[in-house]
Structure 1
């Protein structure tokens, strides 16, 4: 069969899947390329504080840029320098770029993927042959890809992730307000380093602070954030389920959660079920003790 025959037989869904494959490959390769393009020129023109440190560690500048970009996107947790990113904690540009790569390559991936598809749909001419498959991807995302959600679950996912990361950053700044391990940085770099630490704690395993020196409550909160890092994605997957069997797994028959309810209703029931577990109250009590101590 020719390509035209396949497209005619498969219809709009087949053409949408073909386009989605190209978009995902472009997204994956584009993130790596963006990281290298942004980091390589910076490290070649960076102050001697950073370049001399790489020379002491016998690391090539260009290779540092390439490796740092892919370790953030791919959630590797490794760096070419022995102190992770502590030496670069006050470097504004790499903190911004590497934080973005950490989010875009991990928990924010469904959000940025839908944003990319929506942007293409809005920017391409109305008579373009890509408009129909793009519209299909936006209207029926879960028929094409597990990690592509409808508009409402995507916005809910964004809200949850923003709240979690904002709380993380706030805890790092406030609980270590007078801690030399954090307060040694100027206010601006301190905020950027805290945002980076919040992102990397759940995604890449890199660090801008020596975590043995930060407040115990911060250590505990980062631990809990790592534990629940998959929850928002898992909730979005179940919230936007389109399968005939009603679920992606097997659940008790008397389960209160119904995937066919509205997004908000499902979210509230899931939160109520979560709050019924004793573990959350044990966490809250331990967290308060850590702050007090």
Structure 2
């Protein structure tokens, strides 16, 4: 016993230094463990033995699973088993496949929660029948004398009642039995709900470790606030304009007078309505699990069959020059394009196919469908399905489910956004790719290698390179032969490659205000029911001349959120790249002394940014078919592998994200608290009414 007691402080000390068990931690653990395991297999399967060093094996596995796409060895020189390991890692690390796992886990969590609710209701029904059984076991004074059998029945009924009560309230802080108005949860996060009345332990800090962009230290963040007032009559659903109430309220999904605030936060719900909301969310998660799984599988299969079959039928000589199977080479191309890796079994990458329209167009679509435009494609599919559903009572559950997904996508999935944000994302991608495309065509003037191409293929190659340089990782022309100005532009584009989706993901987070520590109210409405907003000149003067942020409007607060996220993310990212470039430059000093041009600081920056952005485009090194990092020392390769691993995780949601959290009562409390804090802010600004915010 004394030995075990001595181990307890040690165990607590170890647990104290370990990172919290949340989505980010599990994500890192999965990537690191799988990379280490596969690197040992990759290294041991080399033929001849140890022809590939372990550092190169580890780097290749990390590069494949993170989608970085850089290679320190020629992929064509690897045996088929090693290529198959990389092929598997490309798919295992894809963001869509990881999101499918999250949907599956949340689906099972909802099922477990509903089983618990059903069990609790069954116990309540049993408790309601126990008093009858208990009292019927005791004969009245005016009745006949009790017998030994009656006494035995009374004792049995009394013991059974005590057993049921102990089972129901084990560990509960409140020994009183549950009634119709109060429900108690006996866990670490105790909540008491009285209709719409949520109270919380003021010493409990909800949702720590918010992640990049969080501001948990702001003075205006009442972390320990306890909203103790329900929704008042003047804030109720009945006072809203009829049309707006039907469109923005909860009656679209189930009968309720609850409200929906900014970023799809439901509040003012009773316990029973929360359970109904959970049922709608469960159906949405289950539906998305099937749709996303089919989306991922169909694009993978169609891409493999399309590109592999085309290469087998049209240009089998190209892969056979490297001793490769044409279909296998095309299949590797398709998967690498869909996961946005850029790895290629061909030594010349895509330059051998720069005058082949079908693989360029197909792989360009796979690049978009697998990453940058995935949220747009997925929302379009769900929107189309909703439009095709007939208006019949039997299809009503499907309509409710699809409406809920389209109206509140970030409650159920990380990479599905509301309509307005989806259009913004689409426009941003078009603008960024358009800039890359236009600059490629302009700066290609005078480049003899590109001018030799026919005009049509030159335009197509420019479009493909624009799509690939931000995420795809392929190159259809020799990167080192491009103009220096275009290379600088590519560095900038690779650096911001994850920002459009990252900022959209965080800006649409259901717990956006909680993650940033800023609570603002929604727009006030004028007599016509439309949101009031200050004059644009006044807003510009406040923001640019006076340096003020007008928090009285929804748009300005959203702008503040976006600016806060961008500032935090930019400062967070730049340190990783700066330190990596510094250490790699020090490690490669001997190479720089021999070849200052080949090992220039710009080339190292280009490689580091490509790894951090998980892009895969490389300037290369003369006389080598691998990436530029293939000529580095072992320590530099390990540093770059760590950079790629960190870069793969920069686009993930913060820890406070409804779409990656398991359903529990803490989430319900968080929404009610956020609504109460917004109401307090509204009162502070002299507003008497709390309208329904935009969704």
Q: Which residue of structure 1 lines up, in the alignment, with residue 342 of structure 2?
A: 77
Q: Give how far 1:45 is off.
A: 2.7
Alignment counterpart, residue 126 of structure 1, candidates 391, 394, 403: 391
Q: Give how far 1:180 is off.
A: 1.5
Q: Give how far 1:265 is off.
A: 6.2
Please give the alpha-carbon distance, in whole angstroms, between the structure 1 residues aligned to 2:400 and 2:335. 33
Q: Give how far 1:242 is off.
A: 1.9
Q: Give how far 1:264 is off.
A: 11
1:217-236 to structure 2, matched below 5 A, reads 217-236=485-504
Cα deviations by residue, 1:104-131 (Å, 9 ceiling, x for unpaired): 1111111111111111112233333432
Residue 370 of structure 2 is aligned to residue 105 of structure 1: yes
CA RMSD of aligned residues (A): 3.1
Q: Give how far 1:63 is off.
A: 1.0
Residue 297 of structure 2 is aligned to residue 32 of structure 1: no
1:176-191 to structure 2, matched below 5 A, reads 176-191=444-459
Please give the alpha-carbon distance, in whole angstroms, between the structure 1 residues aligned to 2:556 and 2:325. 49
Alignment counterpart, residue 429 of structure 2, candidates 144, 147, 161: 161
User: Is the 8 Å Cα contact of residues 16 and 136 (structure 1) preserved in structure 2?
Assistant: yes
User: Is the 8 Å Cα contact of residues 238 and 247 (structure 1) preserved in structure 2?
Assistant: no
Q: Which residue of structure 1 lines up, in the alignment, with residue 291 of structure 2?
A: 23
Please give the alpha-carbon distance, in whole angstroms, between the structure 1 residues aligned to 2:469 and 2:282. 38
Q: Give how far 1:250 is off.
A: 6.2
Q: Which residue of structure 2 lines up, in the alignment, with residue 208 of structure 1?
A: 476
- Bigger mean CA deviation after superposition, 159-168 or 187-196: 187-196
- Bigger mean CA deviation after superposition, 12-21 or 60-69: 60-69
- Bigger mean CA deviation after superposition, 179-188 or 99-108: 179-188
Secondary structure (helix, strand or coil) at the match of 2:481 reads: coil
Secondary structure (helix, strand or coil) at the match of 1:146 reads: coil
User: Is the 8 Å Cα contact of residues 507 and 561 (structure 2) preserved in structure 1?
Assistant: no
Please give the alpha-carbon distance, in whole angstroms, between the structure 2 residues aligned to 1:250 and 1:217. 41
Higher relative contact order (CA 8 A, sep 6+): 2
Cα deviations by residue, 1:222-272 (Å, 9 ceiling, x for unpaired): 1110001111112212332321x6154568xx99597x834996399749x
- TM-score when scaled to structure 1? 0.81
User: Is the 8 Å Cα contact of residues 113 and 148 (structure 1) preserved in structure 2?
Assistant: yes
Please give the alpha-carbon distance, in whole angstroms, between the structure 2 residues aligned to 1:165 and 1:132. 36
Q: Which residue of structure 1 lines up, in the alignment, with residue 409 of structure 2?
A: 141
User: Is the 8 Å Cα contact of residues 86 and 210 (structure 1) preserved in structure 2?
Assistant: yes
Alignment counterpart, residue 246 of structure 1, candidates 506, 513, 519: 513
Q: Give how far 1:159 is off.
A: 0.5
Secondary structure (helix, strand or coil) at the match of 1:189 reads: helix
User: Is the 8 Å Cα contact of residues 337 and 367 (structure 2) preserved in structure 1?
Assistant: yes
Long gaps (5+) in structure 1: 280-293
Residue 554 of structure 2 is aligned to residue 261 of structure 1: yes
Distance 1:261 1:240, change over 3 A: farther
User: Is the 8 Å Cα contact of residues 550 and 557 (structure 2) preserved in structure 1?
Assistant: no
Cα deviations by residue, 1:31-68 (Å, 9 ceiling, x for unpaired): 1112123223322331xxx3212111111121122111
Q: Which residue of structure 2 lines up, in the alignment, with residue 288 of structure 1?
A: none
Q: Which residue of structure 2 lines up, in the alignment, with residue 175 of structure 1?
A: 443
User: Is the 8 Å Cα contact of residues 182 and 214 (structure 1) preserved in structure 2?
Assistant: no
Alignment counterpart, residue 326 of structure 2, candidates 57, 61, 67: 61
Secondary structure (helix, strand or coil) at the match of 1:105 reads: helix
Residue 420 of structure 2 is aligned to residue 152 of structure 1: yes
Q: Which residue of structure 1 lines up, in the alignment, with residue 358 of structure 2?
A: 93
Please give the alpha-carbon distance, in whole angstroms, between the structure 2 residues aligned to 1:114 and 1:179. 41
Query: Which has more radius of gyration?
Result: 2
- Bigger mean CA deviation after superposition, 74-83 or 230-239: 230-239
Which has a greater percent of helix?
1
User: Is the 8 Å Cα contact of residues 181 and 214 (structure 1) preserved in structure 2?
Assistant: no
Cα deviations by residue, 1:71-115 (Å, 9 ceiling, x for unpaired): 011122210100110000111010001011011111111111111
Please give the alpha-carbon distance, in whole angstroms, between the structure 1 residues aligned to 2:322 and 2:548. 56
Please give the alpha-carbon distance, in whole angstroms, between the structure 2 residues aligned to 1:12 and 1:222. 44
Distance 1:53 1:143, change over 3 A: same
Long gaps (5+) in structure 2: 1-110, 119-274, 519-546, 575-695
Distance 1:157 1:263, change over 3 A: farther
User: Is the 8 Å Cα contact of residues 124 and 131 (structure 1) preserved in structure 2?
Assistant: yes
Distance 1:131 1:226, change over 3 A: same
Equivalent pairs, count: 266
User: Is the 8 Å Cα contact of residues 85 and 206 (structure 1) preserved in structure 2?
Assistant: yes
- TM-score when scaled to structure 2? 0.36
Please give the alpha-carbon distance, in whole angstroms, between the structure 2 residues aligned to 1:184 and 1:139. 51
Please give the alpha-carbon distance, in whole angstroms, between the structure 2 residues aligned to 1:268 and 1:249. 7
